[in-house]
Amino acid sequence: MREVVVAANWKMHTTPADAGDLARTIAARTREPGVTRVICPPYVCLEAVGVALADADPDVAVGAQNVHHELAGAYTGEVSAPMLVGLATWVIVGHSERRRDAGETDELIGRKLGRALDAGLRPILCVGEQLEEREAGRAADVVDGHLRGALEGRDPAATHAGGLVVAYEPVWAIGTGRNATGADAAAMADAIRTSLDALGWADVAGAIPVLYGGSVTSTNVDTFFAEPSIDGALVGGASLKPDEMAGIVARAGMTARARGLAG
Ligand code: PGA
C-alpha cells in the first residue's frame, strides 16, 4: 500500500523567530497515525523548525524548498545538498514557481534530484501544466515531458528506494484558489504512472506516491483523497494555518487507516 503524505510548502513565509512556534502548533494538531508529515520552511528557518519538531514531534519531517544542482562552488546565494544534511531530510525540486522565476529546466531539475538522492534527501518532484496547455489538451504530454526530463537515465529501483514522491501541481491551480477536481487530479496521477511505465519504470511506478498540489484546503481536500490514485497533498497557502492543516491531515488519516497504514 502506498504511503500517504502531506507536505507543507511555506514558500517565502515565516522567519527564524516565528517558524518554530508555527511548526510546533501544526505538529500538535496533526497527529494522525500512518500519515507522513513534512514541513518545508524557507532555508533560514530550517534549523528553527528542526529544533522545534525534535522536541514537539520528531515524526514530522523537515524539508527544503530547493537545492542547487552542484555540490559546491562559486554560486552566490545558493545552497547545495550536502549543506542541507542535518537540517532537512526532504527537498522539493522543480516547483513551478522556480521553473517560472528561476528559469529551471527539466535537465537542471533532474540534476537537482540526483544531488538530493545522493545526499540521502527524499525528493518531491513537482510536475504540472499551464492553463493554456490544459486547454489545448496537452496536460498529460507536458507532465510526461517533465517526468522524462527529470528522471530519464536514472535507476528506477534506486530512485524509489531513495524515497521519490511526485507532486502533480497544475500551475493554474497554485495560489489561485482554483483547485483541480479530484477526477482531473486522479486522471493525471494515472497519466503520471503511465509515463513512468513508458520510461521503463514499470516495476516501481505503482509504488511511487503521487500527491496533488494547488489550492488544497481543508474544505476541498476530500475530493482528492476520495481518489485511490492520489496519495497525499502538497499544500501551500493553507499550510501556514494550523486549523487548515489539522483538517487536511485528518482527512489524510482516514485514507491511511483505509490502506492499513495506521498500525
Ligand atoms: P497553494 O500552493 O496550495 O498555495 O496553491 C501549492 C504549492 O505551490 O505547492
Tens digit of pLDDT at every position of the chain (263 positions): 899 999 999 999 999 999 999 999 999 999 999 999 999 999 999 999 999 999 999 999 999 999 999 999 999 999 999 999 999 999 999 999 999 999 999 999 999 999 999 999 999 999 999 999 999 999 999 999 999 999 999 999 999 999 999 999 999 999 898 889 999 999 999 999 999 999 999 999 999 999 999 999 999 999 999 999 999 999 999 999 999 999 999 999 999 999 999 98
Instruction: Please say whether the dihedral angle defined by the alpha carbons of residues 238, 240, 245 and 247, taken in this order, is positive or negative.
Output: negative
Tell me how far apart the alpha carbons of residues 115 and 109 are, in angstroms, rounded to a whole number: 10
Tell me how far apart the alpha carbons of residues 14 and 219 are, in angstroms, rounded to a whole number: 24
pLDDT value of position 148: 97
3-class DSSP assignment, residue 19: helix
CA of 176 to the centre of ligand 1 (A): 9
From 40, 211, 215, 220, mutation site for ligand 1 pocket: most ligand atoms within 8 A of C-beta: 215
Atom of ligand 1 nearest to the CA of 126: 9
- Residue where the block lists cell 517560472: 100
CB distance 213 to ligand 1 below 6 Å? yes
CB distance 174 to ligand 1 below 6 Å? yes
pLDDT value of position 48: 98
Q: Which amino acid is present at 33? A: P
Active site residue 13: no
Atom of ligand 1 nearest to the CA of 217: 3
From 13, 166, 168, 174, mutation site for ligand 1 pocket: most ligand atoms within 8 A of C-beta: 174
CB distance 215 to ligand 1 below 6 Å? yes
Active site residue 69: no
CB distance 214 to ligand 1 below 6 Å? yes
Q: What is the DSSP string of 174-217?
A: TTSS-PPPHHHHHHHHHHHHHHHIIIIIHHHHTTS-EEEESS--
Nearest CA to ligand 1 atom 1: 236
Is-contact 53 39, C-beta < 8 A?
yes
